[in-house]
Structure 1
């Protein structure tokens, strides 16, 4: 809610409403206040207390919010209802329709100077941009939401900050993404701001960047923290739908405070529904750990579950990440044809500006599959494409590994000088200071 209007503005509003209802200053004042007080208030020479405004609002038959700000409480509650509707649209996968709803709501919230509702609309637009792959627009919306909430406590700003970090990550800016997420985690945990929802969002979001930077131990720890913090909701969509229906009924009956409470519950459940994407990343991480330990059957189960969850939420870029990992496990289990088909599908959904890291991983794995099939020409082509994508993203650890693969291929085909060049390039990336290391891990939450 915005702050109340200045005394002069409130005074004019009280006078207009009083005259419109045919009341004298004495009738408005009694039995608690004097006509002189009402006269002083209407002249704008006194800042009325909440108690005085509540008394006057009751006598005038208006809401306290409407009297103090000029905005109808019904308008604010109706706006929140429509924000929840947009949240439902996004949570069920129709990002383009949700974006249209959020744009209209952003305009309305801005016109009424409703900072909290404006920030909610901006966050929704940012999430729509993430889902559709419009990362530049998403980053802009998240930055604007963070600025609108500049005076709010850190837990309130975490969704915007996390959204900005994810947009940078998906654009290939790994180190900056990790910096944003770890800084927020550190500030929350060291400052005793142990908000479970905020921590869950941050831990789940940092898994991908950690993995792509080779910080596997930190990724595994973040996944375990996220899963330990995850809320247990049997069917959030069903419960949220019930709360929305209840809110509509209460709003029609004029029971605004109760309608607001129902809407808050619905919004929270839809937010948890969107967390399926984050929890899917945790299943992906578990699948990765199983794969590293050679438990390929368990790994395949976890990764298929992650991919199904991501497909259900239409999270294309995250789904591509899980698909590449699943393809690796399938290849190792002897299902190379299925793996290759999955990787080609991934490449069809991505571009160098949108999901560069996932594209590079898909090309790398397709190169390995081609090598196993003795198609060295196709293998080299895939490795070179992956190399170009990784150089752009600055993923030093992956670059070194890829240079080794390419060097081995070139050496086996008799091109020794070219192989040496590839090895030298890989060593340069492996030894470059600061490219594969991270600073101290953020403080841990009390679980």
Structure 2
């Protein structure tokens, strides 16, 4: 079956289209000449009805207009209202994901995917796959998320890159959450490079990619590159009509402002995002705003407010059964609790997170490393140096796989200090030397930043 590039539909074979034209023409009492004029000849219509020629998109539009039908129905035999109804139900499934539980939304998306495939509607099938990928991200099944996003990309492989960007961004996000920071950056940078080189200035696609690149850049410690992406995103925002995209941009930009110590501006940016998410009733993203505002307050030293915001974020995410995001917030909350002198409560919160089903090498490695780091600090503060060393080493093992080298530097310093205090000077020097290659700057993540990614854009 051939692809109609204008309408994004899969047209039937010429013989099928020809039989359809013949039937509709006969039903309407038209001669071949009447159907053909003024743009075509009766001979062309005869050839077409015999199935010996595939009508062009222009010819399909002419014939559909004369026959009182649509191009889609003429090309596929499918009534156009089926696709419209399917798109409306996809919107309903999206609303369920935004306001309810991901598992409920996933059930809707699975049914819609099956239906779209049966109707040969690749665009709608890809939209259902995107929904399934987003559901999997929320529940923490990162392998499932990557697979669904990859399937959506494959379905849209014949489409221009801007159409494929949401699926590509989803795949990059899944790799980021799995701790594969460099590969996440690679996917996003490659797409940006292709878009910019081809001259396809699609503001929505570019804003989506620049915003998505901020998180892996920040986690890798590439602050200048993250700030540059934020500047470009801010410049694109006035050209974008989708409020969810703009809200996501404000949330991403806030991370770069925090890193620069511009706390008030970061909080203002998060307030804009929060207002938009409230209007759109997108609960997961609204919870992320509370999460980041808690982090802003923690950076500013207001630990009481930080705790309040993080508890709100955790409760919202837990109510949606967003398992992975919930435990990630709990790591941030435990850090604040420890700093407030509530070490026992922090430890009680952290220990369940070390189970393989909560966090681990394949499921939030950066935050799993953070949990071990905090447990190491708590153990050290109560004088249990053996337990502290064990947790620091576990954190190092996890973070070595992520590319978050700044976090590794921080852990090397903690481990070196511990070894030095316990009289193992040579081992301490080795830990410090390892950490020297991973110099961290403050104010990026709870754990610290990492090395710069390869440049994509020229900078002065």
Q: Do these two structures clear the TM 0.5 threshold for a shared fold by scoring above it? A: yes
**2:220–2:403: 8 Å Cα contact kept in structure 1?**
no
1:75 aligns with 2:90: no
1:329 match: 336
**2:324–2:364: 8 Å Cα contact kept in structure 1?**
yes
TM-score (norm 1): 0.74
Please point out which of 415, 430, 434 is paired with 1:406: 415
CA RMSD of aligned residues (A): 4.0
Q: Residues 195-251 of structure 1, C-alpha deviation per residue, up to 9 Å, x if partnerless?
A: 554345334433432333223455567668768949658xx9xxxxxxxxxxxxxxx
Please point out which of 32, 41, 49 is paired with 1:42: 49
Q: Residues 8-45 of structure 1, C-alpha deviation per residue, up to 9 Å, x if partnerless?
A: 322212334556x5x65549947967977754542235
**2:32–2:45: 8 Å Cα contact kept in structure 1?**
no
1:245 match: none
Cα distance between partner residues in 1 of 2:425 and 2:202: 57
1:247 match: none
SS in 2 for 1:392: coil
Cα distance between partner residues in 2 of 1:324 and 1:27: 73
TM-score (norm 2): 0.72
**1:226–1:282: 8 Å Cα contact kept in structure 2?**
no
Identify unmatched segments of 5+ residues in structure 2: 1-7, 248-275, 441-449
SS in 2 for 1:15: helix
Deviation of the 1:275 alpha carbon = 6.5
1:368 aligns with 2:393: no
Cα–Cα, structure 1 residues 301 and 97, in superposed 2: closer, same or farther, change >3 Å? closer
Cα distance between partner residues in 2 of 1:292 and 1:144: 40
1:143 aligns with 2:182: no
Cα–Cα, structure 1 residues 369 and 274, in superposed 2: closer, same or farther, change >3 Å? farther
Count, aligned residues: 401
Compare 418-427 and 79-88 and name the one that shifted more.
418-427
Compare 29-38 and 321-330 and name the one that shifted more.
29-38
1:384 aligns with 2:393: yes
Q: Residues 375-432 of structure 1, C-alpha deviation per residue, up to 9 Å, x if partnerless?
A: 333322321221221233343222232122122223223344443443344346669x
Cα–Cα, structure 1 residues 337 and 441, in superposed 2: closer, same or farther, change >3 Å? farther
**1:53–1:68: 8 Å Cα contact kept in structure 2?**
no
1:438 aligns with 2:453: yes
Cα–Cα, structure 1 residues 190 and 315, in superposed 2: closer, same or farther, change >3 Å? farther
Deviation of the 1:116 alpha carbon = 0.8
Cα–Cα, structure 1 residues 155 and 32, in superposed 2: closer, same or farther, change >3 Å? closer
Please point out which of 83, 91, 96 is paired with 1:84: 91
Cα distance between partner residues in 1 of 2:309 and 2:234: 14
